[in-house]
Amino acid sequence: MSENNRVNLFSTSLVRGLLAMVIGIPVGMGLVTVVRLLVGLPAWKAEPAWVVGAVFGVVAFMLGTGVMNDWLKWARGEETPEHPIANPNLKGLAKYLSVSFDHKVIGIQYGVTALILFTLAGAYALTFRTELLAPEIQFLQPKNFNTTMSLHGIVMIGAMLIGVGAMSNYLVPLMIGANDMAFPRLNAFAYWVNVPAAVLLTLVWFLGGFDTGWTGYPPLSAKAPLGMQMFFLGVYFIGFSSIFGSLNIIVTIVKMRAKGMSYFRMPIFVWTAFATALIGLTATQLIGLSFQMVMFERLFGMGFFEPSKGGDPILFQHLFWFYSHPAVYVFVLTGLGVISELLPVFVRKPLFGYRWVALSSFGIALVGFLVWAHHMFTSGMAAYLRVPFMYSTLLVAVPTGIKFFSWVATMWEGKMSFETPMLFVLGAISIFLLGGLSGPPNGVVSTDLHLQDTYWIVGHFHATMFGGFVFPFFAAIYYWFPKITGRMYNERLGKIHFYLMLPAFYVQSLGQMQVGLLGMRRRIADYDPALDINLSHQLITLAGFFIGISVLIAFYNFITSLRRGEVAVANPWRSRSPEWQIPSPVPAHNFDQPFEVVGEPYDYGLEGSAYVSFTPSRPSTEVPSGAEPAAAD
């Protein structure tokens, strides 16, 4: 390590935020205690103390990082610079551990956080998978199994939301020719709030864990240990991140596109980021609300979902799935955007049916709002709801199918090459297909009566999430690695990663589906040896470990290539997209001069066509792109 790489940790926002959090939590607890004393209640009660303490901790964290400084200045009527730069002097690692308003830095912060959480959640998975190697309890008691399993689920989901944030933050401004997001301060806020949220999710372990899975159904969640509250709060704050991040993306896309970039000339990834943001902006509120309602049940004895108080447990499920179904499309739409974005580059052909692919993302997003009750076919909700929700659920297959068929038509008679990003794209398509096709049997009520809450469902959603997020995310990392770092990753290691992960994943997912059909329920620490599924379980576990190993290889690849990789050529994939027409790594203000869109994004094979032009044509009265409004965020 060279001299200037050494980091003074205490000067980084991360450490200052964490220190503030450590102070904030006891302050919040103290406040509760004092108030209780004042109104004559017994001074100490763990639950309210921890909840208020956690909220104070998060606020303290945000204040400690300094991400809100400019807002506070505005409130006092002070002026702030037009182009905010949080810490101009920071270099290297310290820059990434501190508040930055540059969308590229924030994108990378999101991305690394996602990978860390992914590893953590993967380690949880390997832990409980080891327990499931054989029937009977080996080493993980049911209580800890439930906590491990539930945290695996929610941390993975957090990792995906954050990973989606990484891709859209880094790529959208570059692709539309903006110099930053519309609201850089809000952008930084949306990233940083994830950090204390992740801390709360880890605190779960010290407060008794929780045993409800990631879905947190009451009445069970109303009775679970205190860890439940930390889970609710953690998810709630990650939700904040989604909402504000989505808002930012939408405004950026609507208001800051380069000259000439009509909606139907945006890179296809931008379309998916837009559709994703629409879901994130609106539906996320409902998971927050449903979790808050359970929190209030626990804190104030309220009874929304408690039948003995006139409540109804089914209501929770409606509120919860109203978010959590659309959320599954949040996980995958950007991933599908990556697939559509990379395919034409590696096939050297235009994206087949651009408009259809673009609009299908909106089709999926909008229909996705009308299908939530397919998670509740056996829940005992009003019986007449089942058939209408079956119809709406299966309709999603249509726009998704458009994507698949268009991808195949893009590949057909193309001139494909198989660098690592392309391998991951191809893997993603085949796996997402498996996951998608395992959806209709769940969506048909009669067959779902058998499938609900079995490992078939587990197989279904791992395939959709690996195919729709994990594989495309790795494809994106490999593909834009030279853009981000200016260096090439190691192609050989990249291929090893792929060829380990793909078959291992098929074994894992197909194995899960198989045992599920045979009677393996979800969320059990021990299974009946009579089901005769030991061998399958062993294979699933083994496959999980192979996936883990392949991911470690990828990390090794990234870290070594970051320092010692070959210096990348300017446009290694010969892409037409604007971000590849500027130097790598991208300079601080992205585009020295605004570009103009003069053609279609994917006209590969059309001699002499261009997508963007950097030569200034006529002087323009229009405002330059990359404008960066402030205030209101």
Partner 1 sequence: MTTHTSTLVEYRRKVAANRLGLWLFILSDTFVFGGLYVSRFYLLGTQERPEVSQLLGFVVTAILLLSSFFMNRAETAMAHGDRKTFLRGTLTTLILGVIFLVGVVGVEWQIAPFGPGDGAAASIFYTMTGFHAFHVLTGVIFLAVVYNNGRKGLYSAERHWAVEACAVYWHFVDVVWIFFYPALYLIGLPVI
Partner 2 sequence: GEALAAIDVLNPDLVIVDYDDQALNREEFLARFVGSEKKLRVVLLSLQNPEEAIVYDRRTMAAAQIDRWLEEWPTEEEAEAPPPPSGGGPLSANRLRRNTMKHLIIAGIFVVLVTVLLIVGMDTAGLLPEQASLQAIPIDSMFDLEFKVIYFLFALIVVFMVYSIVVFRRKPGDTSDARHVEGNTKLEVTWTLIPLVTVLTFSFLGAQSLAETQAIGDSVMEVNVIGSQWAWRFEYPDTGIVSNELRLPVGKQALLHLQSTDVIHSFWVPEFRVKQDALPGGEEFIRDLRVTPTKIGEYKVRCAELCGLNHAYMEAPVIVMAEADYKDWEIAESGLSPDPVVRGQKWYENYGCNACHTLDGTIKVGPSWKGLYGSEAKFTDGTTAVADDAYIYESIRNPGAKTVEGFTPGLMPQNIAEKMSDDQISDVIEFIKTLK
Give the one residue of 113, 187, 272, 438 binding partner 2; rule: CB under 8 A: 438
Size of the site for partner 1 (CB under 8 A): 50
420 binds partner 2 (CB under 8 A): no
Q: Does residue 457 belong to the site contacting ligand HEA (CB under 6 A)? A: yes
Distances (CA, A) of 394 to 401, 437, 517: 11, 11, 21
Q: Which stretch binds Cu ion (CB under 5 A): 6-14, 38-46, 76-84, 320-328?
A: 320-328
Which of 183, 455, 466, 469 is close enough to bind partner 1 by CB under 8 A?
183
Look-up of token digits 């392309």: 422
The dihedral built from the CA positions of residue 233, 277, 425 and 115, taken in this order, carries a sign that is: negative
x/- mask, partner 1, residues 49-88, rule CB under 8 A, reads: -------------------------xx-x-xxxx------
Nearest to partner 1 of 321, 573 (CB atom): 321
176 part of the interface to partner 1, by CB under 8 A: no
Phi-psi region of 583 (alpha: psi -120 to 50; beta: other; left: phi over 0): beta
Does 301 contact partner 1 by CB under 8 A?
Answer: yes
CA distance 484 to 500: 25
Find the binding residues for partner 2 in span 103-162 (CB under 8 A): 142-143, 146
Residues 500-529 vs partner 1: string with x where CB under 8 A?
Answer: ------------------------------
462 binds ligand HEA (CB under 6 A): yes
Partner touching 537 among Cu ion, partner 1, ligand HEA, none, CB below 5 to 8 Å by kind: none
Site pattern 302..321 for partner 2 (x: CB under 8 A): -----xx---xxx-------
Spatial contact of 255 and 224, defined as CB atoms under 8 Å apart: no
For residue 584, the surrounding DSSP H or E stretch is: none
| Among 95, 103, 325, 483, contact with Cu ion (rule: CB under 5 A) | 325
Residue among 11 and 378 whose Cβ is closer to partner 2: 378
Q: For residues 311 and 328, is the Cβ–Cβ distance under 8 A?
A: no
What distance in Å separates the CA atoms of residue 376 and residue 386, rounded to the nearest whole number?
8
Q: How far is the CB of 260 from partner 2 (least distance, A)?
A: 5
Is 374 a binding residue for ligand HEA by CB under 6 A? The answer is yes
Partner from ligand HEA, Cu ion, partner 2, none binding residue 349, C-beta < 5-8 Å depending on class: partner 2
Q: Report the relative pairing of strands 612-613 and 596-597 from DSSP bridges.
A: antiparallel
Contacts of 146 (CB under 8 A, 6+ apart): 209, 210, 211, 212, 213, 523, 525
- Which residues are within 8 A (CB) of 225 and not within 5 positions of it... i.e. 6 or more apart? 207, 208, 209, 210, 211
d(CA 26, CA 279): 36
Q: What is the dihedral of CA 574, 578, 583, 584, to 10 degrees?
A: -70
Span 106-145, contacts to ligand HEA by CB under 6 A: 118-119, 122-123, 125-126, 129
In our burial notation (b when 16+ CB lie closer than 10 A, e otherwise), range 130-139 reads: ebbeeeeeee
β-pair partners for 454: 521
Confirm or reject binding of residue 629 to partner 1 (CB under 8 A): yes
Locate 298 and state its tokens: 């626990």
390 touches partner 2 by CB under 8 A: yes
In the list 350, 511, 578, 626, the residue contacting partner 2 (rule: CB under 8 A) is 350
The closest of 47, 131, 582, 38 to 300, measured between CA atoms, is 47
45 binds partner 1 (CB under 8 A): no
| Partner that binds at residue 589, options partner 2, partner 1, ligand HEA, none, CB closer than 5 to 8 Å by kind | none
Start-to-end CA distance of the chain, whole Å, equals 39
- Residues of span 382-421 touching ligand HEA by CB under 6 A: 393, 396-397, 400-401, 404
Under the criterion CB under 5 A, does residue 265 sit at the interface with Cu ion? no
**3-class state of residue 521 by DSSP:** strand
CB 87 within 8 A of CB 95: yes
Q: Using the rule CB under 8 A, is 262 a contact of partner 2?
A: yes
H helices of 177-312, in order, are 184-192, 194-203, 220-223, 227-255, 268-300
Pick from Cu ion, partner 2, ligand HEA, none: which does 265 bind, CB < 5 to 8 A by kind?
Answer: partner 2
d(CA 624, CA 460): 46
Residue 284 φ then ψ, to 5°: -55, -30
Binding at 325: pick from partner 1, Cu ion, partner 2, none (beta carbon under 5-8 Å per type): Cu ion
458 makes contact with ligand HEA (CB under 6 A)? yes
Closest CA to 315 of 210, 391, 211, 217: 217
What's the DSSP call for residue 569? P
Contact residue for partner 2 among 450, 542, 549, 562 (CB under 8 A):
450
Residue 384 lies near partner 1 (rule: CB under 8 A): no
289 touching partner 2, by CB under 8 A: no
Contact 187, 248 (CB under 8 A): yes
| 296 belongs to the binding site for partner 2 (CB under 8 A) | no
Among 455, 497, 225, 253, which Cα is nearest to 362's?
253
Stretch that binds Cu ion, among 137-145, 288-296, 322-330, 335-343 (CB under 5 A): 322-330
Residue count of the chain, please give it.
633
Q: Quick one: what does residue 79 bind among partner 2, Cu ion, partner 1, none, with the CB cut-off 5 to 8 Å set by partner type? A: partner 1
322 or 377: CB nearest partner 1: 322
Q: Give the CA angle between residues 106, 286, 322 to the nearest 5°.
A: 110
**Residue 92 binding: pick among partner 2, ligand HEA, partner 1, none (C-beta 5-8 Å cut-off by kind):** none
476: its two tokens: 């994106």
Give min distance, CB of 525 to ligand HEA, in A.
Answer: 8
**336, 604, 626, 628: residue in contact with partner 2 (rule CB under 8 A):** 604
Contact positions vs ligand HEA (CB under 6 A) = 118-119, 122-123, 125-126, 129, 149-150, 152-153, 156-157, 160, 213-215, 328, 331-332, 374-375, 393, 396-397, 400-401, 404, 433, 436-437, 439-440, 442-443, 448, 451-453, 457-458, 460-462, 464-465, 468-470, 508, 512, 522-523, 540, 544, 547-548, 551-552
Contact positions vs partner 1 (CB under 8 A) = 74-75, 77, 79-82, 182-183, 243, 247-248, 250-251, 254-256, 281-286, 288-290, 293, 296-297, 300-304, 309-312, 315, 318-319, 322, 623, 627-633
